Amino acid sequence: MDQIHMNYEQSDKLHIRDLLIQTTIGTHAREREKKRDVILNLTLYTETAEAMKEDDIELAVDYEILCNKLISYVQNSSFALIETLAEAISDLLLSTRGILACKVVLDKFDALDSCKSVAVEIFRESSS
């Protein structure tokens, strides 16, 4: 797995930080009674040279559109596991033109009384 990360270390990256979304998540009935806050931190590995050269949003990853898609998807989803939600998010990201790979960090708040959040981090790359 470390080899995959090293392949992208020198790549251009777009970071989306602290995207707060409410969703239904959890394995216990008490967790699923109301929507809960999750925070997404994303690293999108992309090529930005052409977009920078032309200063053209059509050649870049449009992060406003992408965030709106993520918010809509996550708000309307229902998963038991944060791992499954993170995987679904990575699938959505990798279906976006220009994203070669992604790192998804998903924090679920109030999962345990003894800590602020529980998080999962995954790295996925496009198969194409």
pLDDT digits over 58-108, tens only?
777 899 999 999 999 999 999 999 999 999 999 999 999 999 999 999 999
pLDDT at 123: 96
Number of domains present in the structure of the chain: 1
Place 1 in a pLDDT band, splitting at 50, 70 and 90: very low
Range(s) of the domain holding residue 62 = 2-125
Instruction: Tell me the CATH number at 44.
Output: 3.30.1130.10
End-to-end CA distance of the chain: 18
Name which of 20-24, 36-40, 49-53, 100-104 the model is least confident about: 49-53
Q: Which residues of 46-67 are buried (b: 16+ CB within 10 A; e: fewer)?
A: beeeebeeeeeeebbbebeebe
In 47-113, beta strands by DSSP E: 78-79, 99-109
